[in-house]
Amino acid sequence: MAVASEPGNNSYTPSSVALMGDWEVMVDTGAGHSFGVKSGSLSSTTDVDYVLITCGSQSRQHIMSVQLGGDSVAANTPLPGDFDIFLYDPDSSSPFASGTLAGTSPESIDLTSSTRNTVVAKIVWYTGNTGTYYLRPDCW
């Protein structure tokens, strides 16, 4: 999969994932609540962030939604620029879901019909300002 050419994290190869560069890991061991919020930053137009999100180890726990917004308290607040989010299964190089709304609109991906408990989120800059974003996954 080709991604922006940032040194240290310019490719995602499912069979040889190494946590380096802009990789982050979010793990939640309990169901029925939000992880909290992970802040990140796209500091240039070529910056790409990856976050491995896992909701516990029990098969009944799965990811209900993933939200990308511009505020740590309210995920529905505008982003500093047009940021997009793509979700991947850990063993796939093709996204199964995406949030690509225009402008600074916050992104929200509903996974209530899914039973996935682990995904890889890829956050990219599309246009406008760079800056800080907040990622909020919810487990159930």
Model pTM score: 0.79
Q: How confident is the model at residue 110 (pLDDT cuts 50, 70, 90)?
A: very high
Name the token pair of 71. Answer: 């505020």
Judged against a pLDDT cut of 50, whether residue 14 lies above it is answered with no
- pLDDT tens column, 19-34: 444 566 776 655 455 5
- pLDDT tens column, 54-93: 886 555 578 888 999 998 776 679 999 999 999 999 989 8
**Assigned CATH topology for domain 21-139:** Jelly Rolls (2.60.120)
What per-residue string of b and e applies to 114-132 under the rule 16 or more CB within 10 Å gives b?
bebbbbbbbbbbeeeebee
Backbone angles phi, psi at 99, to 5 degrees: -125, 110
